[in-house]
Structure 1
Amino acid sequence: MASQTMDKYTLPAGKSKHEFSVPHVKGLRVCVSTKNKTFMQRYTFAGKKHCVVLGRYPDMDLIEAISKVQANDQKIAQGINPNQSKEEGHSQDVLFRHFTQNIYLPAVKPHKKSYSDDESRIRIHLIPVLGKKKLSDITSAELSQLLANKQQEEKLSNATVNRIRALLSSIFNLAIDHDLILINPVSRVKKFKENNQIERYLTEGELKRLVDVLTQPSQFDIQNLRIVSIVKFLLLTGVRKREAMDIQWSDVNLATGEWLLKQNKSGKARRISLSKDALGILQRLPKIGTYIFANPLTQKPYADIRKTFEKIMKAADIDQIRIHDLRHNFASLAVNSGESLYVVQRLLGHASPQTTQRYAHLQQSTLRDASEKIAHVISSQAT
């Protein structure tokens, strides 16, 4: 009978997790995921809402879960919190600080390219607020407030706040995999709206001034020529910052200019044919280690080049531009030179043509100019 009842709790279409209330048993829930079914109890103690994991089906059946709820209700009536009466060290007592530092970060370090970003965001943005809290006690409302404070008080951009939100979601998903919690509280935290359609392109005058600074950096008191080379390379190739900074000598055929980009955002390797100017930048650099654009002091890739980048842009009198905008500028120049969106997609390494479609308005401008030129030729024939 209990087994037949449990068969009714199945995932709704399109969902990966869902929580069901059990009729006539106050507080008892069946949490269904793609992996398992778990019993839990929701209750209020001393004015605060709590959630306690009872067991996993079929190790625990419905009758046992109901019996456990009734036993917990008796404890609550006696002024005992079932969630705090468990022995020390139980999964319900795992702190956010302990989980992130001792479980999450070691788990993602071997394979996550953004590991260093995760580590710094956890240390700077999350530990100070959530570090001493139990994973099971952290609520959606608390996380919403944390992210709102990051945006409003600390003035982080919506995109940066969303990266922190995504990190939190990954952390709690791993906690679910470790049977420490049942529901990811981030699932009820709304994303901040990002305007990804705003791209910054260099004007003809800005591009000329930037090339002047990159050609003669010493005249502008810019001493780090390695980072100057990185900026030149980004300008000429349109690749992502990390793709350029992590390039190794073994990845490039310096004779043919063919670059095998092994690690990229899409997760698929791709081959890039470097222009003569881009290849010339690499050929002129001295080999000081494995990485082409290595920091001479560490022989490792630079962690951050923003300080020198901002100095370069200030010398060129260019405002409100990010490193990633050099990629947008590369796409703009390609489209306005008459290249098709398919070619631009291949140049930028976009996995989907929809991503490249954001540059379609530039192509329409070019086509409109061409149409006007044709119309002018025709109208000029009129007598």
Structure 2
Amino acid sequence: MRSHTVTFLKGAAVKIKFTKKSVNELKCTSTYGREFVRDTECRGLCVEVRSSGGKTYYLTYRDARGHQRSHKLANAADITPQQARVLCNRARAKIVMGTDIAEERAKLRAAPTVLEFFNTSYLPYIKSYKRSWETDVSVFHNHILPVIGSVFIDAVTAERVGTVMRAVQSKLSAATCNKVLIMMRYMFNLAIRWRTAGIVANPTAEHRLHKLSNHRERFLSAAETQQLIAAVNNSPNRMLRYIIPFLLLTGARKREVLDARWCDIDTARSFWRIPITKSGRERHVPLSAAAAELLQSVPRRRNCEWIFANPQTLKPYVSIFISWNTARTAAGLSDVRMHDLRHSFASFLVNAGCSLYEVQKILGHASVVMTQRYSHLSQDSLLRAASHAGAVVMTQAQA
């Protein structure tokens, strides 16, 4: 069987018609260890023949500056000459349209996997400002990593995002599914903002959040408040008798109260300074006489800066759910969430005649829109308002 033995000479490359047979028979005799031969049927297509016996298809072309360039297409053992021509023509079309295929390939090689991007870029960034960054770590490792963690970030498609969402929808609530999607959307938006190699569009864009109907109104009545206070006073967790009333008296968030420090209490001006809030800004919470009196009753411990510290560790509680759950159940209020104490505080303010603007400032909302859900009026207040309106109407009608 006759072999094609060729040597690549600068400016005078040998050309043959590529077929399976002709390419298979090519052999290298050059002392440089490799030779090139061009295809007569496809412009720019050539094959590198190595002394080891390996062969690789390339596209040779000139870039926008007139420099000779080469672009690797595929191993000759993996595709046919006709398939090599298809790849060559596609690459040439990109060049004609102005795409730098060398840069494109470099970007592909530089693209990180989703896990690499999370560890090296996303996580360090959110740690710098987000107090709840550990929640993101949990969401990622439990729901995102198992499905697309090993996928290169530029290869994550809307379909792959759909695979993640179908997996979580089968076992999680709509609200939790939304958290997963929101986190993925934010992560890919950051990748685009930071010009991460290979990614130009957000693959979560086609997916929509679930519509939630869980914005329930649950506010404690005066009687329920007394029941709850009695229950926490009987709790084995002796600090619960201070924590729960303080939540009700300030409308603060649970984590804000658990992390409260003595140095942030200004008794002279009757306010509590919260240095870092959910909105990322410092705010001052006014302390009523009842709140100030409660603080005076909290036992102080030497060398402990935390107001509601765990007596065992002298550090803030990581969680008080077990003792809270026991107390609310004993009070017959198992449907009351700890965040409902914040709702109730806002309700007390509105029913006492405070404006939404005042409630907004006390709660620390960035926008009054968020305060709207707290503008609840009790049925007694609504009845009084309706009765007042009725009296005015009847007075006018009888005049």
CA–CA separation in structure 1 for the residues paired with 2:183 and 2:73:
37
Q: Which runs of 5+ in 1 are unaligned?
A: 1-59
Conserved? CA contact 2:272–2:284, under 8 Å: yes
Deviations 1:129-156 (A, max 9, x none): 22222222222232234234323x2233
CA–CA separation in structure 2 for the residues paired with 1:245 and 1:162:
27
CA–CA separation in structure 2 for the residues paired with 1:348 and 1:230:
17
CA–CA separation in structure 1 for the residues paired with 2:85 and 2:383:
74
CA–CA separation in structure 2 for the residues paired with 1:75 and 1:297:
71
In structure 2, give the amino acid aligned to 1:366. S
Residue 202 (structure 1) aligned to one of 188, 203, 220: 220
Conserved? CA contact 1:252–1:260, under 8 Å: yes
User: What is the aligned partner in structure 1 of residue 290 from structure 2?
Assistant: 277
Give the secondary-structure state (helix, strand or coil) at the position aligned to 1:260.
strand
User: What is the aligned partner in structure 2 of residue 134 from structure 1?
Assistant: 152
User: What is the aligned partner in structure 2 of residue 290 from structure 1?
Assistant: 305
Residue 77 (structure 1) aligned to one of 48, 73, 86: 86
User: What is the aligned partner in structure 1 of residue 58 from structure 2?
Assistant: none
CA–CA separation in structure 2 for the residues paired with 1:143 and 1:246:
37
Give the secondary-structure state (helix, strand or coil) at the position aligned to 2:345.
helix
User: What is the aligned partner in structure 1 of residue 121 from structure 2?
Assistant: 103
CA RMSD of aligned residues (A): 3.8
Residue 267 (structure 1) aligned to one of 280, 286, 310: 280
CA–CA separation in structure 2 for the residues paired with 1:341 and 1:70:
66
- 2:109 is equivalent to residue 90 of structure 1: yes
User: What is the aligned partner in structure 2 of residue 317 from structure 1?
Assistant: 332
User: What is the aligned partner in structure 1 of residue 256 from structure 2?
Assistant: 243
Give the secondary-structure state (helix, strand or coil) at the position aligned to 2:204.
helix
Conserved? CA contact 1:335–1:363, under 8 Å: no
- 2:372 is equivalent to residue 357 of structure 1: yes
Number of residue-to-residue matches in the alignment: 309
Residue 191 (structure 1) aligned to one of 186, 193, 209: 209
- 2:175 is equivalent to residue 159 of structure 1: yes
CA–CA separation in structure 1 for the residues paired with 2:276 and 2:343:
20
Give the secondary-structure state (helix, strand or coil) at the position aligned to 2:239.
helix
Shift of 1:298: 4.1
In structure 1, give the amino acid aligned to 2:204. V
CA–CA separation in structure 1 for the residues paired with 2:239 and 2:287:
19
Shift of 1:87: 8.0
Instruction: State, as a whole percentage, how many aligned pairs show the same letter.
Output: 34
CA gap of 1:286–1:146, structure 2 versus 1, over 3 A, is same
CA gap of 1:361–1:89, structure 2 versus 1, over 3 A, is closer
CA gap of 1:378–1:183, structure 2 versus 1, over 3 A, is closer
- Segments of 4+ moved more than 4 angstroms: 67-76, 85-89, 373-380
- 2:356 is equivalent to residue 341 of structure 1: yes
Conserved? CA contact 1:258–1:272, under 8 Å: yes
Q: Which has the larger radius of gyration?
A: 2
TM-score, with length taken from structure 2? 0.66
TM-score, with length taken from structure 1? 0.68
User: What is the aligned partner in structure 2 of residue 143 from structure 1?
Assistant: 161
CA–CA separation in structure 1 for the residues paired with 2:370 and 2:71:
51
Q: Which runs of 5+ in 2 are unaligned?
A: 1-62, 75-81, 92-100
CA–CA separation in structure 1 for the residues paired with 2:85 and 2:186:
33
Shift of 1:102: 3.0
Conserved? CA contact 2:347–2:376, under 8 Å: no
CA gap of 1:370–1:189, structure 2 versus 1, over 3 A, is closer
